[in-house]
Amino acid sequence: AAPPGPPIYVDLAYLPGSWSARTVDEEFFRRVRSLCYVVSGDDHLKEGVLRSLLDALLAGKHQWGTDIQVTLIPTFDSLVMHEWYQETHERQQELGITVLGSNSTVAMQDETFPACKVEF
């Protein structure tokens, strides 16, 4: 367990992928308060812990006690993410959490990929 201390405020936080994703829990979101969280890493390991990570965001954000708007930016498409979004949409709104989806596509050389623009 981490020693008690004040929360850390940042503009953008990348949530760890692979095995490290298991370390992101409610306490992480209580302590690391970000305007934007990027959920990256489309791999089978993250898919297995994605629901608990997303639920931890809701639980941790609930403890903030402030009106800070949070944006969650997934960089991959996931059935788990879609189900969580649908099941917890009302709670997300209560807590001021917005999930960005991307309908934009960027084409570079011989490659195209989804993209979104984030401004601070």
Q: What is the domain extent for residue 101?
A: 8-114
pTM for the predicted model, two decimal places: 0.82
More confident residue, 17 or 40: 40
Number of separate domains in the chain: 1
Coil vs helix vs strand at 37: strand
Q: Which neighbouring-strand residues pair with 105?
A: 114
Q: What is the pLDDT of residues 60-107, one digit of tens each?
A: 999 998 789 999 998 877 888 889 999 999 999 999 999 987 667 788
Q: Could you tell me if residue 1 is inside a domain?
A: no
Task: Give the CA distances from residue 56 to residues 18, 25, 112, in Å, rounded to whole numbers and listed in that order.
Answer: 17, 5, 32
Q: Could you tell me if residue 35 is inside a domain?
A: yes
